[in-house]
Structure 1
């Protein structure tokens, strides 16, 4: 068994949710919603205001909560922002302002594969991945490498060396090295083999780049074009940007920019079993499959698991009669980008922040969830 590389930015949130730890906000750019308490057991607005007054949520840009299909809470705050490392200066965020999602992009790419698979435009997930990259004849001759499947990419269990624990300004970071490679797909598929595929989890933007390329190969469309037509347009999402590398390839790992309202809509579609406005956008069986923990995989924190490019866990609720875990599925991105979906609570929370590459970036989203919304939903 090989050891998983660990990405503190992503995984610390698991520890926070399992322990109920809290923290961090800046000055509000909008007044509290007058109907913010609708559907909650207790009003989240006073809790949010207390958290805001504490000054502990520095760097938050947007918060959108949906309950029972309705937007019940929405706040925006001005602040410094970047678009994939490009300085945007001081931004006055609002409902339509696009924001880097960073690795939340990965989870959305997982949804796109499910849409394309239902239309039989991409290969079954147990196909050998190199069978669909015939241009790399030499790599297909490697017996160990030829056993790697699309499922292994979807679950980040490729069994190949990949290290994103280094800063994203470091050329030795595997994602940065991929972006600078002459051929990003050869770079990914030619990584050293560390162990049997499916037996260990290594966080890998390269795995998602392969999924994105399979979508492009199968649909004959660029990844952004397919996403716009197959997912965003059916959800009524009109604003979108997708960053491309110097080679012109759309970054499947981290390049998507959406408004937090749009991200919340994606969460609501998930809660509705892939439906939106009485139309099937995404097959429910794909969602069910995506939210099952990958077998034999430990991602490094107790209680946290990984499905098909989605995190799976339980938020710890401290009740008067004891504590219990509330199941969620989630997408996490560098800087504090978050999408939480709580099926049994019929609740979606979308958060955007500008704390990119900070070791403390997990604190603000964790506080918003654990100090404001979970108590208001459970009345605990």
Structure 2
């Protein structure tokens, strides 16, 4: 079943929309008509030409302007894959905001002292939380496809150190589990409880489910995460992240590399524009373009074929980006 939702028709529907996702604002009837005209034909185009894409949510200048659900179910939880890593970085920000962390420059062994004797290389002793988030720890890692099974955190810490921390990017599926261990240690809370308190509650998300180190989320909730970053970590009247923290997340820490081939910040990929991206295997994407005040969230079929085709990224930075430009041009007419 296909579903194309462009917020049309009645003020009742608009009011329901406003209740679902504050602080997104209610569209005027004229805006709704222009949105519908701009995205006309998108539903059929995705359904026929982009078979991997399962769901799409587009937020433009604080309004939800387009939704698509191949299965007709906007409330379905979908496998976010490594978008989970980007959400984990937000929890580091909430810990800083609440004073549970002093800074990103704290060393890992100061935060978890029992790991200190597990690695005899002196360079391991200067690895910081920033290095973990930036994937520049220097550990021996060879995972160009980003699909290696993560190690248990303590075991990951024992790996050989091949380069000085901060010197080289290497995509590391074990890194987020080490960050999780740090967060659970400094807060004395399970990670699911932290997600509930620091993200689900303030952003009015549906409670995620967790499987194989991946969060399952609604596509609209992925869009909310992107919109939180657009607002410099503020949601309605609540400062979820420290002011300026989003700039740190999205500032390149290295030239990056595989599997995406873009510069890498702190849990987020960065691109020219400026654009920043949370990217999960096989086309799970939060694509944020601040110059247009644009957020695109996409979920895709999780398969090697979907990963190879890359339909979600092409859709976000291609046809949807062009439609957003066209829609904003109509504001002056």
TM (norm. structure 2) is 0.83
TM-score (norm 1): 0.74
In structure 2, distance between residues paired with 1:302 and 1:222:
30
- TM superposition shift of 1:39: 9.4
Q: What is the aligned partner in structure 2 of residue 272 from structure 1?
A: 231
2:60 to 60, 67, 82: 67
Distance 1:362 1:292, change over 3 A: farther
Q: How does 1:123-142 map to 2 (within 5 A)?
A: 123-139=102-118, 141-142=120-121
SS of residue matched to 2:142: coil
Q: Deviations over 1:207-257 (max 9, x none)?
A: 11111111111111111110110111101113311236xxxxxx3xxx211
User: What residue in structure 1 maps to residue 13 of structure 2?
Assistant: none
Gap regions ≥5 residues in structure 1: 1-27, 79-92, 179-183, 245-250, 315-325
- The reply to whether residue 122 of structure 1 matches residue 101 of structure 2 is yes
**How far apart, in 2, do the equivalents of 1:64 and 1:163 lie?**
34
2: CA distance, partners of 1:301 / 1:42 = 36
**What per-residue deviation string (whole Å, max 9, x for no partner) do you get for residues 273-306 of structure 1?**
21112221212211111111115x4426998311
Match of 1:17 in 2: none
SS at match of 1:376: helix
Which 5+ residue runs of structure 2 have no aligned equivalent? Answer: 9-26
For residues 6-17 of structure 1, the aligned pairs below 5 Å read none
Q: Of 80, 83, 87, which residue of structure 2 is paired with 1:108?
A: 87
Could you tell me which residue of structure 2 aligns to residue 216 of structure 1? Answer: 184
2:266 maps to 308
Higher relative contact order (Cα pairs below 8 Å, separated by 6+ residues):
1
8 Å Cα contact 1:164/1:174 also seen in 2: no
Partners of 1:141 and 1:160 in 2: CA distance? 13
Task: Write the mapping of 1:47-196 to structure 2, written as runs, cut at 5 A.
Answer: 47-49=41-43, 51-52=45-46, 55-78=48-71, 93-139=72-118, 141-165=120-144, 168=147, 173-175=148-150, 178=151, 184-196=152-164
Bigger share in helix: 2
Distance 1:40 1:157 in 2: 45
- State how many pairs are aligned: 306
User: Aligned equivalents of 1:129 and 1:31: distance in 2?
Assistant: 47
* Matching residue of 1:46: 40
Distance 1:308 1:39 in 2: 39
Change (3 A) 1:217 1:301: closer
- What is the match of residue 210 of structure 2? 242
What SS does the aligned partner of 1:358 have?
Answer: helix
SS at match of 2:222: helix
Q: Which moved more, 1:151-160 or 1:185-194?
A: 185-194
Rate the CA distance shift 1:158–1:100 in 2: closer, same or farther, 3 A. Answer: same
Residue 122 of structure 1 contacts residue 214 of structure 1 at CA under 8 Å; is this kept in 2? no
